[in-house]
Structure 1
């Protein structure tokens, strides 16, 4: 099946299409301009002939009214003049003018006088090649002066001008189309440079950037935007590689522990306490399960790109109470009703992760407070975190030295999940000194 003209047109290069459109637009503009020019030129020349002819007619009328008119009438530019008396006879005329038949009959003369304009008249019946422009003026005692002038020169001038435009316009369109081809090519050159730069970026040259043109135009903005995108992709790839590396490192420890316990049990079955072995393997398996759940939660957050899985009204007071009730050492100091928009399961995970950290490090008490403005605080009386580390602990797989030394410590993903989830809900989270201990402060915007 043959391609349609539109499909073939779309496959043409952008440079060709822009040049073709520019050439067509120029051709149409020049055609309209040439038509208007010819019309204006013809009108102007005709008005000039009419004005000259009218001056001759008025001069002859003045002479006839004053009685100084001579016969034959002389004109310098070939204007034909007839003076017609009230009885319709031709009394005076220029040399060679018809003395028997007026250029216009009585009815046409009356119409011309009533309209006060010039008339086109064929000159062949009077032995004059080409059309004439006839002007009629009236004088005293009922006389009428007819003045006519051939307009063949106007037609010749218009023909010459038309030929010039007919030849010159296509040449001018071709010249401008060539100039447009060169200008569009130079304009698109930065885009070609962007394409070449993009082709050179591979998995072995991730840090390369696209060339940015000097001109502060749309191509410059496009190059800057693409470079920003490449930087974000590079950062995301780096974070993903770091996540995979850290996850592999975290997985090695429990897997190695499970393998070691099983190898020892199988190597010395007679002296092995299988219940103790099962408990150790179960503990390591639970660590693997928690790590897998945390990695899955982070993967879902990254996949959504900071967007919520569900955006519905959530009674934050109920979520906080349900989580806190699972911890016997925690108590609610304030729990004011507040409704936020988001995902109840994700918010429950936020509270759970913060409670796990507080309970793990607390020495005696954990206090939870929820205010009506959406501020949630969880305070423990543990050793706290140095100020210079309070922001760092929100990074993935980040654990402080004392956290690493605890067997029950996590993989360093809990606070990272908390921050990502709170940000997705439009809120903020930070840690501050509780003197003694540490306070986690979460602020979520209440639903309108």
Structure 2
């Protein structure tokens, strides 16, 4: 079954389709222009002939009205003139004109007089080659002046112009098609280079980038955008690899501890304190559970692309009160009513992670404040964090030496979850010196 023209057209390359479309549009435009040109040229030449013929007829009519006509009538542009009296007889003519048969019969003369326009007639029956433009004017005493002008030269000029256009138009179309083919090919060359560059990028050459053309055009912008995308993908892949590596490292310690405790207990069952063994295994299992929850939270944040799971009004002051009530060491000093848009569970997790971190390092107390402008602070009086490390602790699996030495320390994901979640809600989080201790400051935009 033969494919339809539309399917065939779509199967062609972009270069061919652009060239064919440009050539077709130019051919149509040139054809219309040629038709308009010939029509306008013909109309202009005919108007010129009609005006000249009418002027000669007017001159003869004036002489006929004055009775000063001579025979033969003299004209200087080859106009043929006949003067016909009221009985239809030819009384005066130009040299070489027919003296017996009028160019137009009585009925035709009446129609031309009524219309006031020149008419076209075949001059061959009157021994005049080609066609004539004929003008009829009415004179005194029932006389009629008939003036005619051959237009063979005009027809020859129009035919010559038509032949030139008939030959020149296809030549221009072919010339434009060739020029378009070459120009489109050069324009698409950077895109072909991008395609080849993309084909060369594999899993073993992730750091390669696509070639960027020198021209500051759309292809240049496309290449830059694609390179930025490749950079983001490479960064995301590196982060994913690092996350998997760090997660495997963190999982190895509690699993090794569980295995060791169980092997020792099974190897010496009689002298083993099974209560102590169970407590140790439970502690390591809780560490695994917390790590799995943190990894799942980060995976969900990455999957949503920095967008909260829900965007609904949340009474942040209620979330703060409910969370602080679970900590005996915490004291809520200021809690103004604040409504933000986001996910209540994610915001509760942010405060829980900050509270866990503060309670783990505080010496005596933890103070929490929430002001009406959406600023939440969690302050402890512990050892604090050196200024040069306050930004680094927000990275995933980052723990300072002091944190690593504490058995109750986390996997280094709590503050990373806090920052990712706060950013998803359009806010910021920073760590400040509380002198003594550390202050975590979260700023969230209040709902309008």
Q: What residue number does 2:78 align with?
A: 78
CA distance in 1, matches of 2:230, 2:429: 29
Q: What residue number does 2:420 align with?
A: 420
Task: For residue 359 of structure 1, report the CA deviation from its aligned partner.
Answer: 0.3
* Residues 153-185 of structure 1 deviation map (CA, whole Å, 9 limit, x = unaligned): 322322222222222212221121111111100
Q: What residue number does 1:91 align with?
A: 91
* Residues 86-108 of structure 1 deviation map (CA, whole Å, 9 limit, x = unaligned): 55432210123222333234554
- Matched residue of 2:396: which SS? coil
Task: For residue 77 of structure 1, report the CA deviation from its aligned partner.
Answer: 4.2
Q: What residue number does 1:207 align with?
A: 207
- Equivalent pairs, count: 448
Q: What residue number does 1:47 align with?
A: 47
Larger deviation, residues 114-123 vs 62-71: 62-71
Q: What residue number does 1:323 align with?
A: 323
Larger deviation, residues 282-291 vs 67-76: 67-76
Write the mapping of 1:424-439 to structure 2, written as runs, cut at 5 A.
424-439=424-439
Write the mapping of 1:200-279 to structure 2, written as runs, cut at 5 A.
200-279=200-279
Q: What residue number does 2:4 align with?
A: 4
CA distance in 2, matches of 1:46, 1:185: 48
- Matched residue of 2:149: which SS? strand
CA distance in 1, matches of 2:296, 2:80: 105
- Matched residue of 2:270: which SS? helix
* Residues 108-165 of structure 1 deviation map (CA, whole Å, 9 limit, x = unaligned): 4455445543221232443434321012344555543221012233223222222222
Write the mapping of 1:76-155 to structure 2, written as runs, cut at 5 A.
76-106=76-106, 108-109=108-109, 111-113=111-113, 115-139=115-139, 143-155=143-155
CA distance in 2, matches of 1:9, 1:228: 34
Q: What residue number does 1:332 align with?
A: 332
Larger deviation, residues 90-99 vs 27-36: 90-99
- Matched residue of 2:102: which SS? coil
- Matched residue of 1:350: which SS? helix
CA distance in 2, matches of 1:374, 1:430: 14
CA distance in 2, matches of 1:329, 1:76: 123
Task: For residue 410 of structure 1, report the CA deviation from its aligned partner.
Answer: 0.4
Larger deviation, residues 354-363 vs 318-327: 318-327
- Matched residue of 1:269: which SS? coil
Gaps of 5+ in 2: none
Q: TM-score, normalised by structure 2?
A: 0.95
CA distance in 1, matches of 2:2, 2:424: 52
Task: For residue 226 of structure 1, report the CA deviation from its aligned partner.
Answer: 0.5
Task: For residue 430 of structure 1, report the CA deviation from its aligned partner.
Answer: 0.9
Larger deviation, residues 42-51 vs 78-87: 78-87
Task: For residue 55 of structure 1, report the CA deviation from its aligned partner.
Answer: 3.3
Q: Does 1:173 align with 2:173?
A: yes
Task: For residue 192 of structure 1, report the CA deviation from its aligned partner.
Answer: 0.4
- Matched residue of 2:135: which SS? strand
Q: What residue number does 1:25 align with?
A: 25
Larger deviation, residues 253-262 vs 412-421: 253-262
- Matched residue of 1:161: which SS? helix
Q: What residue number does 1:15 align with?
A: 15
Larger deviation, residues 60-69 vs 269-278: 60-69
Write the mapping of 1:174-193 to structure 2, written as runs, cut at 5 A.
174-193=174-193
CA distance in 1, matches of 2:143, 2:51: 21
CA distance in 1, matches of 2:27, 2:204: 51
Larger deviation, residues 316-325 vs 221-230: 316-325
